Structure 1
Amino acid sequence: MSIWPSISAPGRRIGYARVSTKDQKLRMQRDALEAVDCDLIFEDHGVSGTKASRSGLDDMLTELQEGDTVVVFKLDRLGRSVLHLADLLVRFQREGIHFCSISEGINTATPGGKLVYHLFSAFAEFQRDIIAENTIAGLEAARKRGTRLGRPPTLHIETVLAAHRAIQQDGLSVAEAARRFEANRTTLWRGLKVMEDITCEP
Structure 2
Amino acid sequence: MDDAPHPLADRFSRIRAIALDRDGTINVDVKYPHRLEDLQIIDGFAEFMAWAAETKLPVSVITNQSGIARGYYDVEAAHRFNAAINASIAPLGLRIEHFEMCPHLPDAGCTCRKPATGMLENLSARYGIAPNEWVVFGDQYSDIECASRFGALSVGLGAKFAAPGLAPISPDLVIGALGDFPAIYRQAIANSSRI
Q: Same fold (TM over 0.5)?
A: no
The alignment's TM-score, normalised by the length of structure 2, stands at 0.35
Higher percent of residues as helix: 1
Larger Rg, first or second structure (1 or 2): 1
